[in-house]
A and B are shown apart, each in its own frame.
Chain A
Amino acid sequence: DQQVKQNSPSLSVQEGRISILNCDYTNSMFDYFLWYKKYPAEGPTFLISISSIKDKNEDGRFTVFLNKSAKHLSLHIVPSQPGDSAVYFCAAVNAGKSTFGDGTTLTVKP
């Protein structure tokens, strides 16, 4: 039973437009959520996070939205840049343990 799901394996957007990556979870005990970005041949790197007591967190071009009632979070990238092309993982934390989604490959076309 996969507790964290990213239903879109891939997403392609034009440079300058908005990228929206989605993540759904089933365990209501998750109290913290993170997004990681992974380039080929590198380990994932932390991008942005949100606590379950908030519904939005913004850092530059990146904004994460959390809808607890729907058990859904999303990552918005505005404007998208070619350098944003990578695999994006969402992760949900409960009792210090992270559960990851299976990733969405974002391609930003120049």
Chain B
Amino acid sequence: DVKVTQSSRYLVKRTGEKVFLECVQDMDHENMFWYRQDPGLGLRLIYFSYDVKMKEKGDIPEGYSVSREKKERFSLILESASTNQTSMYLCASSLGRDPLSEQYFGPGTRLTVT
């Protein structure tokens, strides 16, 4: 069974802290994505990666960075957390560059920055 896991379901951090959100998939997928979900704004793409050590900016990359050292793991980093980064963060993966390939999502991490 397909599985995308995220390191934490809930996380509370202070303003200015460095935050790591981890995502692991066990499907040998090439593509991995990080989104944030906010009320009224839907899912917005932060960063994505088509291969190990590759990364591309999504629609809202400011304040975030990513790391993909291994195919199965894609990390989202908040260098200095701010209150406007309080959100639900969703990781996803998909197979290859085929647009017909749907994305598989993790359960999400609800991050609160105080």
Contacts of B102 in A (CB 8 A): 34, 36, 46, 49
Q: Are A43 and B4 in contact (CB under 8 A)?
A: yes
Q: Is there a chain A Cβ closer than 8 Å to B82's Cβ?
A: no
Q: Is there a chain B Cβ closer than 8 Å to A100's Cβ?
A: yes
Contacts of A100 in B (CB 8 A): 35, 42-44
Given A97-B48, A100-B43, A102-B42: A43 touches B99 (CB 8 Å cut-off)? no
Q: Are B97 and A98 in contact (CB under 8 A)?
A: no
Scan B82-100; emit 1 where CB is below 8 A from any A CB, else 0: 0000000010100001011
List the A residue with the shortest CB-CB distance to B44. Answer: A100
Q: Are A97 and B45 in contact (CB under 8 A)?
A: yes
List the B residue with the shortest CB-CB distance to A51. Answer: B100
**Residues 21-63 of A at the B interface (beta carbon under 8 Å):** 31-32, 34, 36, 41-46, 49, 51
Q: Are A102 and B45 in contact (CB under 8 A)?
A: no
- Besides A43-B107, A51-B100, 17 more A-B contacts (Cβ < 8 Å) are A4-B42, A31-B99, A36-B103, A36-B105, A41-B9, A41-B107, A42-B108, A43-B92, A44-B43, A97-B58, A98-B33, A99-B59, A100-B42, A100-B44, A101-B42, A102-B42, A103-B42
Residues of A that sit less than 8 Å from B by CB: 4, 6, 9, 31-32, 34, 36, 41-46, 49, 51, 89, 91, 93, 96-103
